Structure 1
Amino acid sequence: MIVLLLAYYLAQSAYTEAGPIRASIELRDVAACDSQNSQRNLANIVWSCLFTIFLCTWAAVHPNVHFRAEKRNQRWTEEWLWDPVHEILTYKLPLFLWALLVPEYILAWAVRQYIQAGVVSKEVPGWTRTHGYFMIMGGFHLFRLPAEASSIPMPLKSSKPSKFVFPSGRHSRKDEIPVCPLKFEDVPVDILEIITPTEIELKDRSKNDFLTKVIVLLQTMWFFIQCITRGAQRLPLTELEVVALAYATLNLSIYYFWWEKPRNIECPVRVYKTSTASHEESGEKVYEWDTNRAFRWMEKTVMYISGEQDCFVIISKETSIPMFWSGRLKASRVGEAGLGPSILGIAFGAIHCIAWSSKFPSHSEAVLWRISCIAMITLPFITTIACIIELAHQRTEKVTTQVVNIIFCIGSVFLILSAWLYMVGRIATLVIAFTTLRSLPPAAYTTVCWTTLIPHI
């Protein structure tokens, strides 16, 4: 970020502080640029922005393992048509919409997984953060063997008998019964050392290689630099470019926290128990949602915004790991995990203010855009204040528990109201970004003249 700001400063100073000699050189360069094709069309603008937004909302997201049990005697229409469509509509499309409408939440999710993966990786000898990611993203799934299948208990270093087994006989894997995903607390460390794939094997399972990540980052950085250079040369940015620029800014942070996380793994490692063995979920006690429908809705809103919804999930009752599962962070890490994404969320909304004084086709669109910018800044701002108070409460005794509870109640009301305003503002900016394309200023079609930015005599 500092390098980009420095590039902006140097590019701007080249236009504001140059003398007559520099001005004459610029006239020569402008004439050279004009002699070439220095105009871009609407299709170029839209395509570049949509491609960047797609990379930031689809290609950059690293989902958890969405396990689906195999079906026996499945028709080809179900296997090749209905199941893929159902997967897209019920999982991939909702995740894409979350990334499109609330990209800050995706960043917060990535930060929580980054922290939790680091904690888990330290508990098992030889594990890396990639192993920690694989554990919390649902990489291990419990299966029961058929009643007639033979097995051997897995060895433990302690004298305690193991409930986990190795299959030792012949049977069809389609007869194995899926039970539930496994948390780190559910599997002894001794067992994890035996069944865990190596880091190279995990990367082989991933559908995203190093080259793909580099291409996404290069496209994002290229779009970022183009926007900064247009500002340096006093060329206007369209509202759609401003929106794409905001996504690109968050995308760099998301990729940083998910760089070591495997992407698009669909088949977890099978961990076996016999058909008669019981499974009791380990770990801390799970909270329950409020029985009142209105209060439950309010509670869910606050918990999802703060990223504490995992405390209400019973993994042993799930057929697949929840979409935004990142494990239960310690209470002391919740404020830390939310502070950075909240600050970047403020920056995400503030970037939209670049178009605050742009020439909109109508006055109503200009007013709605400005109100939407304020709405998108308000929610992460309130969340930032809440994280700071939580950190102060955890690290000092200046903020008492009673004061924190009062602030939490008041802040929850503002969070719920600002969350809805945020969603309305987010949708409004996306719509206006396209409606303003009908009447762009002539300078918006002018391309950047790169020759003025290249050192020359």
Structure 2
Amino acid sequence: MLILLLTYYLAQSAHSEAGPIPASIDVRDVASCDGQYSQRSLANIVWSCLSTIFLCTWVAVHPNVHFRAEKQTERWTEKWLWDPLLEIATYKLPLFLWALLVPEYILAWAARQYIQAGVIREKGKLPGWKRTHGHFMIMGGFHLFRLPDNAPSVPLPLGSLEPSEFVIPSSRHSRIHEIPVCPLTFKDVPVDVLEIIAPTETELKDRGKSDVLTKIIVLVQTLWFVIQCIARGSQRLPLTELEVVTLAYATLNFFIYAFWWDKPRNVECPVRVYKTSMVSNKESEGQLEEWGGNWASRGVQKILIYSIGGQDSYVKISEKHSIPMFWSGGTGANLTNAGLGSSILGSAFGAIHCIAWSSEFPSRPELVLWRISCVSMIIVPFLVAIICALIMAYQQMENEELPWWMVAIFVPCVILLFLSAWLYIASRIATLVIAFTNLRSLPLAAFTSVDWTTFIPHI
């Protein structure tokens, strides 16, 4: 609601007919008005927006542990050139594109991990066990290794009388010869073992590549951009389309940081958990779902499942070398709640773009394309919100039979979501392209800086 009110206020303020500078005034006249109006350059506008977008799409993302097995023999070109480039191209760049084109999906992912981290914290019931430990478990912080053949080991003690499959090495050997198996989930490791091997909260924060001060600096920089946009609206100064796009990213960034505040960032090396070479890891997540039907039905099913964040039920972790990119730790009603809230915020993200609904565009087609993109960015996330709400309502019902009215709403929403999924991506790309191309023809008032002295109380 606050986001929508902010959107309405800025839209009304930015496009009011009254303004401090007439549209026909020359820039030299503005610069010579005894300092009444200070100017900003196009480079200032672009740099402010690009730096804020970078903070919201690259720095704000807290990825899962992307584990890569160490090679026994590796040339320096592979270690310092090829492997880093491959990591960026196959993992970090796709994450950046997801955050750039579908930021509300990153928000939903963060919300699901936040909820599941709280569930793990409650189930663990270990001394000093915080939400940070839950995040670390979900993000693939514990990885199963097998010791080399004939390497002596000692079983880890359990509270029960059952023998433990988890061991610790009891002899000298090179860690590079240990065999990586798969990531471990919370159900794969007994609580007694976690109590022994889990790092403390301070140790987990030390593994992260950013501390509280770094996060606060990013949030302050993002907040400063939002304040500038509000100040321009209060003084009837227009926002460029690029600033409107950046404002939408900055608004979602606060929610993403809130959900990932306790999650360690850019952890590259998981904690090694050992089993003997004779024991295999069993899947502990219960019966896995399978993609069924022909290619068309599978396509609709995948779009629906990934949209609501239920893809974890189709992943067999014991067969993965690293935790999946968008792994959230499981499924459930709470995760559907995360999808509902994130989808509503996603619609608000699209609504913020409507601030530029009545802006001056260089051409009529650009204006029409911008408005169509705004509408699609509002409707598509709202369809996901309706689907999540229906799923939540059905989960609250005791009987298993789906009511007819729910089917009448659910089926059209799924069909529309399937048909409009590509339209949403095209709309995101269109708004980004138009935001940059419109910089070639900006109104003179767009170059006027905010007069901050009007906000300072004085006589």
Normalised by the length of structure 2, the TM-score is 0.91
Is the contact made by 2:31 and 2:37 (CA closer than 8 Å) also made in structure 1?
A: no
Where do 1:15-164 residues align within 5 Å? Answer: 34-35=34-35, 38-124=38-124, 125-126=126-127, 127-164=129-166
Structure 1 SS opposite 2:145: strand
Give, in angstroms, the shift of residue 299 of structure 1. 1.6
Identity of matched residues, %: 68
**Separation (CA, whole Å) in 2 of partners of 1:399 and 1:354:** 44
Most deviating of 320-329 and 284-293: 284-293
Give, in angstroms, the shift of residue 216 of structure 1. 0.6
**Separation (CA, whole Å) in 2 of partners of 1:398 and 1:196:** 42
Corresponding residue for 1:226? 228
Most deviating of 286-295 and 261-270: 286-295
**Separation (CA, whole Å) in 1 of partners of 2:357 and 2:3:** 25
Corresponding residue for 2:342? 341
**Separation (CA, whole Å) in 2 of partners of 1:202 and 1:46:** 37
Structure 2 SS opposite 1:358: coil
Corresponding residue for 1:356? 357
Give, in angstroms, the shift of residue 302 of structure 1. 1.2
State the AA in 1 paired with 2:49: C
Corresponding residue for 1:393? 394
For residues 400 and 3 of structure 1, do their structure 2 counterparts lie closer, same or farther at Cα, with a shift above 3 Å needed? closer
Is the contact made by 2:390 and 2:410 (CA closer than 8 Å) also made in structure 1?
A: no
Most deviating of 101-110 and 338-347: 338-347
Corresponding residue for 1:238? 240
In the alignment, structure 1 segments of 5+ residues that lack a partner are: 17-29
Corresponding residue for 1:26? none
**Separation (CA, whole Å) in 1 of partners of 2:287 and 2:316:** 9
Is the contact made by 2:112 and 2:338 (CA closer than 8 Å) also made in structure 1?
A: yes
State the AA in 1 paired with 2:64: N
Per-residue CA distance 1:395-426 (angstroms, 9 max, x = gap): 35699524445543332211111211111111
Corresponding residue for 2:280? 278
**Separation (CA, whole Å) in 1 of partners of 2:408 and 2:389:** 15
Give, in angstroms, the shift of residue 32 of structure 1. 11
For residues 382 and 75 of structure 1, do their structure 2 counterparts lie closer, same or farther at Cα, with a shift above 3 Å needed? same
In the alignment, structure 2 segments of 5+ residues that lack a partner are: 17-29
Give, in angstroms, the shift of residue 284 of structure 1. 1.7
Where do 1:434-449 residues align within 5 Å? Answer: 434-449=436-451
Corresponding residue for 2:370? 369
State the AA in 2 paired with 1:199: E
Per-residue CA distance 1:10-30 (angstroms, 9 max, x = gap): xx99xx9xxxxxxxxxxxxx9
Corresponding residue for 1:268? 270
Is the contact made by 2:31 and 2:38 (CA closer than 8 Å) also made in structure 1?
A: no
Structure 2 SS opposite 1:180: strand
Structure 2 SS opposite 1:166: strand
Structure 2 SS opposite 1:354: helix
Structure 1 SS opposite 2:168: strand
**Separation (CA, whole Å) in 2 of partners of 1:264 and 1:196:** 18
State the AA in 1 paired with 2:94: P
Give, in angstroms, the shift of residue 371 of structure 1. 0.3
**Separation (CA, whole Å) in 2 of partners of 1:164 and 1:408:** 46
Give, in angstroms, the shift of residue 34 of structure 1. 4.5
1:455 corresponds to 2:457: yes
Give, in angstroms, the shift of residue 453 of structure 1. 1.3
Is the contact made by 1:378 and 1:418 (CA closer than 8 Å) also made in structure 2?
A: no
Structure 1 SS opposite 2:123: coil
Most deviating of 243-252 and 289-298: 289-298
Give, in angstroms, the shift of residue 292 of structure 1. 2.4
**Separation (CA, whole Å) in 1 of partners of 2:331 and 2:389:** 17
Corresponding residue for 1:289? 291
State the AA in 1 paired with 2:442: L
**Separation (CA, whole Å) in 2 of partners of 1:33 and 1:164:** 77
Give, in angstroms, the shift of residue 340 of structure 1. 1.1
**Separation (CA, whole Å) in 2 of partners of 1:139 and 1:451:** 50
Per-residue CA distance 1:255-283 (angstroms, 9 max, x = gap): 00000100000000000011111211112
Give, in angstroms, the shift of residue 360 of structure 1. 0.3
**Separation (CA, whole Å) in 2 of partners of 1:269 and 1:57:** 28
Give, in angstroms, the shift of residue 310 of structure 1. 0.7
**Separation (CA, whole Å) in 2 of partners of 1:253 and 1:34:** 42
State the AA in 1 paired with 2:114: Y
**Separation (CA, whole Å) in 1 of partners of 2:432 and 2:33:** 33
State the AA in 2 paired with 1:236: P
Structure 1 SS opposite 2:167: strand
- Count matched residues: 439
Structure 2 SS opposite 1:142: strand
For residues 140 and 33 of structure 1, do their structure 2 counterparts lie closer, same or farther at Cα, with a shift above 3 Å needed? farther
**Separation (CA, whole Å) in 2 of partners of 1:58 and 1:68:** 21
Is the contact made by 1:392 and 1:398 (CA closer than 8 Å) also made in structure 2?
A: no
For residues 398 and 155 of structure 1, do their structure 2 counterparts lie closer, same or farther at Cα, with a shift above 3 Å needed? closer
Give, in angstroms, the shift of residue 337 of structure 1. 1.4
For residues 31 and 397 of structure 1, do their structure 2 counterparts lie closer, same or farther at Cα, with a shift above 3 Å needed? farther
Structure 2 SS opposite 1:122: helix
Structure 2 SS opposite 1:285: coil
State the AA in 2 paired with 1:137: M
**Separation (CA, whole Å) in 1 of partners of 2:41 and 2:31:** 20
State the AA in 2 paired with 1:349: G
**Separation (CA, whole Å) in 2 of partners of 1:201 and 1:382:** 42
For residues 199 and 33 of structure 1, do their structure 2 counterparts lie closer, same or farther at Cα, with a shift above 3 Å needed? farther
For residues 428 and 2 of structure 1, do their structure 2 counterparts lie closer, same or farther at Cα, with a shift above 3 Å needed? closer
**Separation (CA, whole Å) in 1 of partners of 2:210 and 2:418:** 36
Corresponding residue for 1:25? none
